[in-house]
Chain A
Amino acid sequence: MEALLAVTIGVLVAGAVYLMLARNVLRFIFGLVLISNAANLVIFTAGRLTPGEPPLIPEGADAPVGTVANALPQALVLTAIVIGFGLFAFALVLMFRAYTSLGTLQSDEMRVAEPRDDGL
C-alpha cells in the first residue's frame, strides 16, 4: 500500500512540476493544486498506514483498547486541505483579476511592476 501511494505521489509531483513550469499562470495554479494534494498524501503516508481500528475510547476507559489507527496525520491533512482550499480560491481569483486587468495569463508578459526598460 505504501508503495502504491509513493508511486501516486511521485506521479502527482511529476505532473505538477510539468504544469508549474508552463508560462501560463493558470496551468501553474493547476500544478499547485496537484502538488498540494501530493503533500497531503505525503503526510498521510508518512503517518503510517495501519489496518488498525478507529481510535475510539470505550466508555469508562482512559485509553483505546488494542491496536488503533493514528488519528493525528489525518487531522493534519484535514487542516492542510482547508488551508489549501482557501489559498487556492484566493489564487484563482487573483489569476482571474490578473487576466482582466493585465490582459494576459503569460507570466513573461506580466511586466507592469518590473518594466523591461527599468533600471540602467
Chain B
Amino acid sequence: MSWLLATPLALPFLTGVVAFLLRGRPAGRWISVAGNVALLAAAGLLMARVLQSGVIAGQMGGWPAPFGITLVADYLSAVMVVITAITALAVAVYALSDIGARAEKLGYHALFNFLIGGVTGAFLTGDLFNLYVWFEVMLISSFGLLVLGGRREQIDGGVKYVTLNLISTILFLSGIGLLYGMTGTLNMADLAGRVAAHENQGLITVVAMLFMIAFGVKAAVFPLFFWLPASYHTPAFSVSAVFAGLLTKVGVYALIRLFTLVFTGDTGFTHHILLWVAGLTMVTGVLGAAAQTDIRKILSFHIVSQIGYMIMGLALYTPFAVAGAVFYLVHHIIVKANLFLIAGVADRVAGSTALARIGGLYKSAPLLAVLFLIPAFSLAGFPPLSGFWAKYVLVAAALEVQGWIIAAVALLVGLLTIYSMTKIWAEAFWKAHPDGRDPTLAQLDPGVRRRLLLPVGALAALTLVIGFYPEPFVTFAKDAAAQLLDPTAYVVAVLGDPS
C-alpha cells in the first residue's frame, strides 16, 4: 500500500535528478515529459485505489503513527494529486517549445519537477512538520524558476515573492512549534483528537490564527496577496502557468485540511473570519484585475479573486459548501493554468501580452480564439462550463444557510469577471492589430505549434468534460466533503482502530 503513496512523490524527484544530469541536451526535456506521464499513471492508480477502499495511509520507514511520518490519501488528496499530474504533464509538453536553451541549461526541467514533487508531497503528507518541509521544497524550486534567466523585472518580482513567502514560512514554523508544545504530536490525525481534548481552547485558537495567516499568505487571500500580482507576470509562460495553477492552491489545500481536521473547536470565530476574508478577497481581486491592461496581470488578479470562492466554501463549513470548494479547486487549477498557457501563445503570435500592443487574434487565429473562450467563460461562470457548476454549488450552499451577502458578493464578482474576460477578448482578439500585423498560428513552426496547442486543447477539453458531465464530479466532491467534515475514516486509517 505505501508504494502507491510514495510513487507519486518519488517520481518527480527521480525525473528532476535525471533531467538535471541531462540538462542542455534534447533528452532532458523529453525525460521531463516521460516522468510526468509516469506521474499521471501513478496518480491514476492512487486515485483508483482510494475510490475503491476509501482513505489509505502508509507509515514511512516502518515507524507506527504518530511517531513516524505518515502519508495519507483521502479523496481530496487523491484528486489534488491527479490534477497536479495533469497540469504538470500539460506544462511539461508546453515547455518543450516555450523554454529556451539557456533556461534549460540552467536546469529549468529539474527545478520544475522538484516543484511538482513538493506540491504532491504537500498533498499527501499526514504530518505537520513534513508539510512544512514540502512547502520549503516547493518554495525554493519556485524561487529558482521565478528568477531563472534573470531579467530585471523577474528580479524585481522575485524580491517581493521571496520576502513575503519567507515571512509566511516563519509564521508556519512558529505555529508548528507552539502546537507541538501544547499537544506533543505533529501527526495531523493525532492532532485532531488531542487539539479537541486540550484544556485551553483559547490558546489553540491563537495558534490556529498563526496557521491561518501563514497559509493565507501562501493562498494569496486578502490582505496578504500582494506578492502574487507583483511577480506572476514576470517569469516564462510555462512557469507562470504552473504557479497560477498549483502554488496558491497548495495554500488553500492546507487551509482546508487544517480547518476541517484540526482546528474545528471554535468554528464560530475562525470560520467567521474566513468568511470575511473570502468576500474581501473576491472583491479586491476582481477590482484589481479591472485596473490592469496586461493579460497576465489581469489573470494574476483573477487568481486572487478566485481563491476567495474556495475560501468561501471552507468558511461556510456545510457539507455542500465544502463540496463546492473541492469542486472549485479542481475546476480552477485546469482553467487557470490553461489561460496562462494561452497568454503565452498569444504572446508568441501577436508579439506581446500588453493589451494595447496586440489585437486581431480572432480574425487571424480563430482556433486560439475558441481555445481562449472556453476557459475564459468557464472562469467567469458561464453555463454549461465547469466554472458555472462550481459557482452554482457555492452560491446554492450559501443560500442554504441564509448567507445572502456572501452569495450576492459571489454573483457580483462573477459578473465583474466577465468584464475582465471581455476586455481581453475585445482588445486582444477583436480589435485590429495596432501595427497592422496579421498574427496567425501558421507563422509558428508546425512542431512548435503542435506542442503549444496540444496541452491548451487538452485542458480545454477537460473543462468541457467537467462542464457537460458535472454529475460524477459533483458526487465525488460531495463524498470528499463528507470525508473532510467527518474525519473518523482519516483518523482510523492513520492511527488504526481505537477499539
Could you list which residues of chain A lie within 8 angstroms of chain B, going by C-beta atoms? Answer: 20, 25, 28-29, 32, 35-36, 38-40, 42-48, 72-73, 76, 79-80, 83, 86-87, 90-91, 94-95, 97-98, 101-102, 107, 110-114, 118-120
CB within 8 Å of A: which residues of B?
A: 129, 132-133, 136, 139-140, 143, 147, 150, 152-160, 162-163, 166-167, 169-170, 173-174, 176-178, 180-182, 229-231, 233-234, 291-293, 297
Q: Do A47 and B181 contact each other (CB < 8 Å), given the known contacts A94-B147, A112-B153?
A: yes
B-side binding surface: helix, strand, loop or mixed?
helix
User: 4 smallest A-B Cβ distances: which pairs?
Assistant: A46-B181, A43-B177, A112-B156, A113-B157
Q: When A and B form their complex, what is the total count of cross-chain residue pairs whose Cβ atoms lie within 8 Å? A: 114
A112: B residues at CB distance < 8 A = 152-153, 155-156
Contact assessment for B133 and A32 in the assembled complex, using a CB-CB cutoff below 8 Å? no
- Taking a contact as CB atoms under 8 Å apart, the answer to whether A90 and B143 are in contact is yes
Chain B residues in 8 Å Cβ range of A38:
174
Per the bound structure, the CA–CA distance linking A59 and B158 in Å amounts to: 52
Q: Do A113 and B140 touch (CB < 8 A)?
A: no
Measured in the bound complex, the distance between the Cα atoms of B157 and A95 in whole Å is 12
Q: Are B140 and A46 in contact (CB under 8 A)?
A: no
Whole-angstrom distance between the Cβ of A44 and the nearest chain B Cβ: 8
- Additional A-B contact list (19), CB under 8 Å, known A43-B174, A72-B180, A79-B129: A36-B166, A36-B173, A39-B170, A42-B178, A44-B177, A76-B176, A87-B169, A91-B166, A94-B155, A94-B159, A97-B155, A98-B158, A102-B152, A112-B155, A113-B231, A114-B156, A114-B229, A118-B292, A120-B291
How many Å lie between the Cα of A28 and that of B159 in the bound state?
A: 11
Contact of A90 among B162, B177, B233 (CB under 8 A): B162
* Residue in B129, B133, B167, B230 whose CB lies within 8 Å of A114: B230
Chain B contacts for A97, CB-based, 8 A: 147, 150, 155
Residues of B within 8 A of A111 (CB): 156
* Residue among B169, B182, B229 having the largest count of chain A Cβ atoms under 10 Å: B169
Tell me the smallest distance from the CB of A25 to a CB of chain B, in Å: 6
Chain B residues within an 8 Å CB radius of A76: 129, 176-177, 180
Q: Are A42 and B174 in contact (CB under 8 A)?
A: yes
* Least distance between A114 CB and chain B CB atoms (Å): 6
- Closest residue of chain B to A103, judged by CB? B152
**Given the complex of chains A and B, what is the CA–CA distance between A61 and B491 in angstroms?**
31
Give Cα distance in the complex from A83 to B231, angstroms. 23
| Cross-chain pairs A/B with CB under 8 angstroms, 30 sampled | A39-B173, A42-B174, A42-B178, A43-B176, A43-B180, A44-B177, A45-B177, A46-B182, A48-B181, A73-B180, A76-B129, A79-B129, A87-B166, A90-B140, A90-B162, A91-B163, A91-B166, A94-B143, A94-B158, A97-B147, A97-B155, A98-B155, A101-B155, A110-B160, A112-B155, A113-B157, A113-B231, A113-B233, A114-B230, A118-B293
By the criterion CB–CB under 8 Å, are B163 and A47 in contact? no
Known contacts A39-B170, A114-B230: A98-B163 contact under CB 8 Å? no
A110 lies within 8 A of B163 (CB)? no
Could you tell me if A39 and B174 are in contact, using CB atoms closer than 8 angstroms?
Answer: yes
Shortest A83–chain B CB gap in Å is 5
How far does the alpha carbon of A107 sit from the alpha carbon of B322 in the complex, in Å? 39
Which A residue's beta carbon lies closest to that of B181?
A46
- A28, A42, A47, A79, most chain B CB atoms within 10 A: A42
Residue pair B163, A113 in contact (C-beta under 8 Å): no
CB distance from A119 to the nearest CB of B (A): 5
How far is the CB of B297 from the nearest CB of chain A, in Å?
Answer: 8
C-alpha gap A43/B186 in the complex (Å):
12
User: Which residues of B have CB within 8 Å of A119?
Assistant: 291-293
Cβ–Cβ < 8 Å partners of B178 in chain A: 42, 46
Q: What residues of B have a CB within 8 angstroms of the CB of A101 in the complex?
A: 150, 152, 155
B186 shortest CB reach to chain A, Å: 8
Residues of A within 8 A of B136 (CB): 83, 87
Shortest beta-carbon distance from A73 to chain B in Å: 7
